[in-house]
Amino acid sequence: MSHPTAPLRAPLEIEFDYTRSLGPVLSQFMAALAERRILGARGADGRVHAPPFEYDPVSAEPPGELVPVGPEGTVVSWSWMPEPLDGQPLAEPFAWALIRLDGADTAMLHAVDAGSAAAMRTGLRVRPRWAERPAGSIRDIVCFEPGDGPPDGSAPGHAGEVTPGMTITPVRLHYMHTASPGESAYLRGLAEGRLLGQRCGVCGQVYVPTRGTCPADGVTMTEEVELPESGTVTTFCVVNVAYPGQRVTPPYVAAAVLLDGADIAFQHLVLGCDASEVRMGMRVRAVWGESGSISHFTPTGEPDALYESYARCM
C-alpha cells in the first residue's frame, strides 16, 4: 500500500522494431543462414573470422569472397543460464557459449541447448539447430545442440517475410517508471480536478506542471500553487498530418497554453472551434476528461490577451 505522498509508479512497456540494413557482408552472411550455411571472412593475416568482419581488423579492407565454415563447431567458453530472460533463444535453462566453428579462428556467441550444466564443457562439439522458417536474422540459427555430425532435419522451409539486405530486430523493454514527487503531485491534483504548480523560492517563477526542481536555479521547489483552468494561447500549430493511432481528425490545433498566474506555458490541444480561428492571445479554458485529465482547451470567448501580457513566456 503506497503512502499518499509517495511518488507514483507504474509499469512502462516499450516495444519497437529496429529495421536495419545489413550492408554487403552481413547480407551474404544472413542469406547463407537462410540456406543453412554459415560463412566467414578470411583476414589479411590468414585468420578466418566467423561471423565475418565487415572490415579487416588488421588491414581495414573489406573481405574478399566469404568462405564456408562449420556448421559444426567446438565450445571455447560457456556459462549457464538457469532462468532464461525474455527474448533469449530458449525458454528452458541453457548455456551461452562461444563456439569456434570448424575452419574458423574466432568464435561465435550463441545458445547451446545442453539440458543441464553438467552436460556442458569446453571442448564440447556442437552443431546448429536451424529455424524451420528462416527470417533473415541471426535467429535463423535457433541455437546449437551437442552433436558432431551434420545437423538433423530437412531442407529449409519456405522463408518467412525475408527482405534481402534487411533484418528486423524486435525490442521489448519492461520498466517500472517512477514519476518525480512534483509530477506525482500534479497527477494527483488532476485526479481531483485541480491544476497544481510550484513557485521557486529563488526566482519566484511559477511552473506548471509541478516539476520538483526549478530549471533556472537548480533548487528544489516546495511552495505549491493552485492555478485556475483559464489561460492564453501563446503560440500554436495546425496539425494537418494523419498518423496511426491519432485521436483527433486533422486539421486540429496543438498550442502552448499559458495558464493565468503561471510563468511557463504547456502544450495542449485547442478544440471547440475551427482550427483557422485559433490565434496567439486567444483566451481558453480547460475541458476535463473522464479519468482525471484535461481532454483539451476550448475558447472562452473573452477578448484576446494583449501580446505584452504573455510575450515574456514565448
Does 53 sit near other proteins (CB under 8 A)? yes
Please select the residue that binds other proteins; options are 42, 49, 268, 285, rule is CB under 8 A.
49
- Taking the C-alpha atoms of residue 162 and residue 293, their distance in angstroms, rounded to an integer, is 44
Residue nearer to other proteins on the CB measure, 220 or 302: 220
64: cell is: 574478399
Matching residue, cell 573489406: 62
Does 199 sit near other proteins (CB under 8 A)? no
Cα torsion angle, 80, 107, 159, 172, sign: positive
- Counting every residue written for the chain, the total comes to 314
- Taking the C-alpha atoms of residue 90 and residue 99, their distance in angstroms, rounded to an integer, is 17
Strand residue runs (E) in 215-281:
223-227, 230-239, 252-259, 266-270
Residue nearer to other proteins on the CB measure, 6 or 238: 6
Does 160 sit near other proteins (CB under 8 A)? no
Residue nearer to other proteins on the CB measure, 78 or 297: 78
Does 134 sit near other proteins (CB under 8 A)? no
Residues 6 or more apart from 65 whose CB is under 8 A from it? none
Please select the residue that binds other proteins; options are 44, 177, 246, 277, rule is CB under 8 A.
177
Site string for other proteins, 8-37 (x = CB under 8 A): -x--x-x---x-x-x---x-----------
List phi, psi (to 5°) of 308: -60, -25
Give helix then strand counts, H and E, for the chain. Answer: 3, 18
Does 63 sit near other proteins (CB under 8 A)? no
Task: Return the CA Rg of the chain.
Answer: 30
Residue nearer to other proteins on the CB measure, 7 or 147: 7
Least spacing, CB of residue 89 vs other proteins, in Å: 6
**Which residue, 30, 39, 62, is CA-closest to 167?**
30
Distance between first and last Cα of the chain: 42
Least spacing, CB of residue 271 vs other proteins, in Å: 27
Please select the residue that binds other proteins; options are 139, 145, 281, 313, rule is CB under 8 A.
139
Does 163 sit near other proteins (CB under 8 A)? no
Least spacing, CB of residue 29 vs other proteins, in Å: 8
Residue nearer to other proteins on the CB measure, 63 or 284: 63
Site for other proteins in 106-125 (CB under 8 A): 106-111, 117, 122
Cα torsion angle, 248, 249, 252, 254, sign: positive
Please select the residue that binds other proteins; options are 145, 159, 188, 213, rule is CB under 8 A.
213
**Which residue, 152, 162, 107, is CA-closest to 130?**
152
- Taking the C-alpha atoms of residue 139 and residue 14, their distance in angstroms, rounded to an integer, is 22
Least spacing, CB of residue 36 vs other proteins, in Å: 17
Burial of 112-137, coded b for 16+ CB within 10 Å and e otherwise, reads bbbeeeeebeeebebbbbbbeebbbb
Does 96 sit near other proteins (CB under 8 A)? yes
Least spacing, CB of residue 217 vs other proteins, in Å: 4
Q: Residue numbers of the site for other proteins (CB under 8 A)?
A: 6-7, 9, 12, 14, 18, 20, 22, 26, 49, 51, 53, 57, 76-82, 85-89, 96-98, 106-111, 117, 122, 137-139, 167, 169, 171, 173-181, 183, 211-220
